[in-house]
A and B are shown apart, each in its own frame.
Chain A
Amino acid sequence: MPFYKCSKCERIWQYPLSECPFCNIELKKMASGQNKVIAVSKVFIPTIKHPIVPYFACVVEDENKNKWAHKTVEEVKEGDKLVFESNADRNAVGIWRIKYDYADAIEKALELIGGIDLNENSKILILPTLISANQPYFRENTSPEFLTSVLSFLFSKKIKLENIKIATQSFTELSVEAMASRSGLLDVCLKNKITPIDLSKSNFVKQGNLEIVEEIVGADIVLNLGMLKAGNVAATENVFRVLKKENYLGLKYLNSEKDIAKELEKALPNLVSLGEAEYIQTSDGFIAFLGIILASRNFINLDRVLNEIVSQKELPEIIAQINLEEIPIAGRAIKEIKLNINKI
C-alpha cells in the first residue's frame, strides 16, 4: 500500500498528491514493506458491492504504523501477514485493487504474474484500446490516466523514450487520428513526445495463417492495454489489431474469432495484457465502478476472469468454454471482488 509523506511536516496521505498543502513541497512515496493484520471482523451483512458473505474485514498495519483496510474471504487472525504470491504460469491472471495510484497498481499487477523482464534497452510496444471517437468517460478506449501511468511505470524502470512505441489500427471507418484525438490518448502521446503509430500503414509478416504487424517482431515486450467490458472480450479483441485487417476479416470469415485468438495467443509469447477495470462498461453500455486491474500473459483468460468477477451470465463464444477452475489466480481472490455489475 503506497503512502505519501511530507518530509517537512511529516503528515501522511493515502492519496498521491503533488505537494504538501502546508509546506508546498513534493510528497515522498512510502512503500509498505511489511504488513500485519491488527484487527479482524467477520462480516455477515450482504450488500450490493459485497454480496458474498461471510468475509473478513481487516485493519492492516505496516512497519511505519500506517494502517489500511483489507477484505479477504480466507479466514485470518490478528498477527497474520497478508501474502500475495506471484504466479509466473503463462496462463495465470493477476488481480489487484487500484488505490488512487494507477502506476503502483500496474506494477503490483505485473508482479503478480511473475513480473516482466525489463532493462534500459528493452523495446516496448504499447497497444492501447482505441475503438471509438468518444470522450474518456465512456470507457470505450484506454483512459489517458491509464496510458500515462503505464508510461510512468516504464520510465521508472529506466526504459528509454525512443524504445517505446504506442500503436494501434482501426478496423472500422473511423480514423485512428480522430479516435486518438477525442479519447485524449493523442495528448498523452504528445505530452510524452511519442508519435503514435497507425499499424494499418505498417508492414506485416506472415506467421502461419496470421499476418502480424512487424512492430511486434521488433519488440521485447508488447503491452496490450485492454479497456475491459462486461459481456465482452475486450482484451482479446484489442490483440486482433496486430493483424492485417484483411487477414483478420478473412480468418474470421473462414474460421472464427475464437480460432484467431488461440493462434495469436501462441504467436505472441512476449505479449502481456493489462486489463483496465477501474470503471467499466456493463453489457448494456452503462458505466460502473469496479476499481481493479488485471494482468496476464494469456489475454483470453484475462477476459474470462473479468466476466466472472462481474457475474456475467452470457459469455462470448471465445471464452464460453474456458473452465475458470483451470486458471491460476494471483493476488486478490475472485470471491473477494465478485459482484453483479448490473446492480451497481
Chain B
Amino acid sequence: MTKFDYSTKPWWQFAYEAALDALKDGNMTIADIDAIVFASMSSPAGGEHQTHKVSFLSDLFKTNVPIIEVTSVCGGGGVAFWTALQLQQYKNILVLASEKFADNKSETTTDWILSAAEKMTEQTEGMLFPTQNALVWQQYMKKYGASMDDLSLIAFKNHTNAALNPKAYFYKKPVDLEKVKNSPIVSSPFRLMDCSLSVNGGAAIVITQEETDVKIVGSGFATDYILTFGREDITHFKATRLAAQKAFKQAGIAVADINVAEVHDAFTSVELISYEDLGFANEGKGAELIKSGKINLGGVMPINPSGGLKAKGHPISVTGLAQIYEITNQLRGRCEPERQTNPLPKYGLTHNIGGAGGSVTVHIFERNN
C-alpha cells in the first residue's frame, strides 16, 4: 500500500504504486494476474472525474483480464475483497483500491461523502456522517451509560499507534489525550478528534489459490438500510453482527481466538460499538474494553495497531484493503517492532463499514504454519 497523505498524485498513480508493491511482495508480475477487482468512490473532486476506471486499469497494466469495479463508499475495499473471493475460477486475483479524494475545500469533500447518505431525508436534513454517528452515539450513551472520555481513549490509542506506522498520515506525530479531549466540537457531542481523516492513497492485495503463509479462513458480508434511524436498533450495527457471525462460522473459531484486529473507526464511537457487534465485548460493555488496556499495543488483542482510519487516515474505498495489508503483515511478523503483536498472532480480523453501517464485511485470516 502507499503512504496515506494529501499528495496530489492522480488516482491511477496510487493504484499503480499499490499494485506494484503487492505483486512484488507475492513474487509476481502483472502477467500472473487472472482477474482484477477494483474499488473506488469515483470522486470527481479536483476535476479528476474518471469513470470506467476498469478500462484505464487495462491500459495502465497492459492487460485484458476481467476487471470488475465495485463501489461501496468507505466499505468498498472490503466488498472488493469479498467479491474476489467469490471468483474461484481465477488462480491469482489482484484486489485494488485507490482514492484521490481530498483535494478540494472541505465543504466539497464533506458534501461528496454526504452523497453516501440517503438523498431526500438525510442529505437534505444535514445528516452528515459525523452527525449521524454523533446521534447514534447519544442514543448509545443514554442506553448504556458510556461517556465521551471513553471515546477519547480510542482516539488516543489509535493516534499512539499511527505515530509508529510509517504508512500512516500521523506517523511520528503523536497526539496527547488532553488535545483529544479539548479539540473543537464539530457535531455535538463529537469533537474533531472523534473523526477520522479523509486522505488520499492506494492499497492492493493479491489472492492466490496457491498455499501461502496466510490463509483467508472466514468471510462475511451483510447490508443494512440506508436510513440510519429507520433501523430496528440504532445503537448498534446489525450488518456488522451478521457479517461477523458468517465469518466466524466459516472460520470455525471463537471470538477469543482472534489475536489482532483492524476495526472500522471512521468515528471513535463506531470502533467502540463495533467491539460489541464483533463479539469482543458484551453488549453495553465496549467502554470497559477500551479502559482495560487489553486492546492497546502490547495488550492481549491489539485493535487498530495501524492507527486505524482515525490516525492512519481514511481514503474511503482504500481502507478495507489497508486493513487487510496490516493484518497480513501482523500475521507475518513484519510490522515495526513497536507495533508488532507479540507473540506472533495466529488469527487476525478485519472489519470494514460502508456508510453508517449500510454495508459491512468481516474477514478472518490465519497464519499458516
Residues on A close to B: CB < 8 A?
12, 14, 38-51, 55, 57, 59, 66-71, 97-100, 289, 291
Q: Which partner residue on chain B sits nearest A49 by CB separation?
A: B111
A49-B125 contact given A14-B227, A59-B229, A68-B229, CB 8 Å threshold: no
Which range contains the number of B residues in contact with the other chain? 20 to 34
Chain B residues near A55 (CB, 8 Å)?
126
Q: How far is the CB of B272 from chain A (nearest CB, A)?
A: 17
Q: Choose one: B114, B120, B130, B135; the contact of A49 (CB below 8 Å).
A: B114
Asked if B282 is at the interface (CB within 8 A of a chain A CB), the reply is no
Interface residues of B in 101-116 (CB under 8 A from A): 106-108, 110-111, 114
Chain B residues near A51 (CB, 8 Å)?
107
Kindly list 5 other residue pairs between chains A and B, CB separation below 8 angstroms, not including A39-B138, A41-B189.
A43-B131, A44-B187, A47-B110, A47-B128, A59-B135
Contact with A along B88-124 (1 / 0, CB 8 A): 0000000000000000001110110010000111111
Asked if B343 is at the interface (CB within 8 A of a chain A CB), the reply is no
Chain A residues near B139 (CB, 8 Å)?
38-39, 59
Q: Which partner residue on chain B sits nearest A67 by CB separation?
A: B229
Whether the pair B114, A42 counts as a contact (CB closer than 8 A) is no
Chain A residues near B185 (CB, 8 Å)?
42, 44
Q: How far is the CB of A20 from chain B (nearest CB, A)?
A: 16
Whether the pair A71, B126 counts as a contact (CB closer than 8 A) is yes
Asked if B68 is at the interface (CB within 8 A of a chain A CB), the reply is no
Chain B residues near A291 (CB, 8 Å)?
120, 124
Chain B residues near A99 (CB, 8 Å)?
120-121
Asked if B230 is at the interface (CB within 8 A of a chain A CB), the reply is yes
Chain A residues near B138 (CB, 8 Å)?
39, 41
Contact with A along B134-166 (1 / 0, CB 8 A): 110011000000000000000000000000000
Chain B residues near A289 (CB, 8 Å)?
119
Whether the pair B134, A41 counts as a contact (CB closer than 8 A) is yes
Of the A-B pairs whose beta carbons lie under 8 Å apart in the complex, a sample of 15, sorted by A's number, is A40-B188, A41-B134, A41-B187, A42-B185, A42-B188, A43-B128, A46-B107, A55-B126, A57-B125, A57-B128, A59-B139, A68-B227, A71-B127, A100-B120, A291-B124
Expressed in whole angstroms, the Cα–Cα distance for A99 and B126 within the complex equals 14
Chain A residues near B188 (CB, 8 Å)?
40-43
Expressed in whole angstroms, the Cα–Cα distance for A97 and B230 within the complex equals 19
Expressed in whole angstroms, the Cα–Cα distance for A265 and B358 within the complex equals 50
Residue of A39, A47, A97 with most partner-chain B CB within 10 A:
A47
Name B's interface SS.
helix
A68-B128 contact given A39-B139, A47-B107, A57-B135, CB 8 Å threshold: no
Asked if B299 is at the interface (CB within 8 A of a chain A CB), the reply is no
Contact with A along B169-206 (1 / 0, CB 8 A): 00000000000000011111110000000000000000
Chain A residues near B229 (CB, 8 Å)?
59, 67-69
Chain B residues near A45 (CB, 8 Å)?
106, 110, 128, 130-131, 186-187
Asked if B234 is at the interface (CB within 8 A of a chain A CB), the reply is yes
A98-B107 contact given A41-B188, A57-B127, CB 8 Å threshold: no
Expressed in whole angstroms, the Cα–Cα distance for A291 and B122 within the complex equals 12
Q: Which partner residue on chain B sits nearest A44 by CB separation?
A: B186
Whether the pair A49, B131 counts as a contact (CB closer than 8 A) is no
Q: Which partner residue on chain B sits nearest A3 by CB separation?
A: B230
Expressed in whole angstroms, the Cα–Cα distance for A133 and B139 within the complex equals 52
Whether the pair B114, A47 counts as a contact (CB closer than 8 A) is yes
Residue of A39, A41, A43 with most partner-chain B CB within 10 A:
A41
Chain B residues near A39 (CB, 8 Å)?
135, 138-139
Q: How far is the CB of B232 from chain A (nearest CB, A)?
A: 10
Interface residues of B in 220-254 (CB under 8 A from A): 227, 229-230, 234
Chain B residues near A66 (CB, 8 Å)?
230
Whether the pair B111, A47 counts as a contact (CB closer than 8 A) is yes
Chain B residues near A70 (CB, 8 Å)?
125
A69-B187 contact given A41-B138, A45-B130, CB 8 Å threshold: no
Q: Which partner residue on chain A sits nearest B109 by CB separation?
A: A47
A67-B234 contact given A47-B128, A49-B114, CB 8 Å threshold: yes
Q: Choose one: A12, A41, A97; the contact of B131 (CB below 8 Å).
A: A41
Whether the pair B126, A50 counts as a contact (CB closer than 8 A) is yes
Q: Choose one: A44, A57, A71, A100; the contact of B184 (CB below 8 Å).
A: A44
Q: Which partner residue on chain A sits nearest B113 by CB separation?
A: A47
Chain A residues near B135 (CB, 8 Å)?
39-41, 57, 59
Q: How far is the CB of B171 from chain A (nearest CB, A)?
A: 26
Chain A residues near B124 (CB, 8 Å)?
49, 71, 97, 291
Expressed in whole angstroms, the Cα–Cα distance for A43 and B114 within the complex equals 14
Expressed in whole angstroms, the Cα–Cα distance for A41 and B125 within the complex equals 12
A67-B230 contact given A43-B128, A57-B135, A99-B120, CB 8 Å threshold: yes
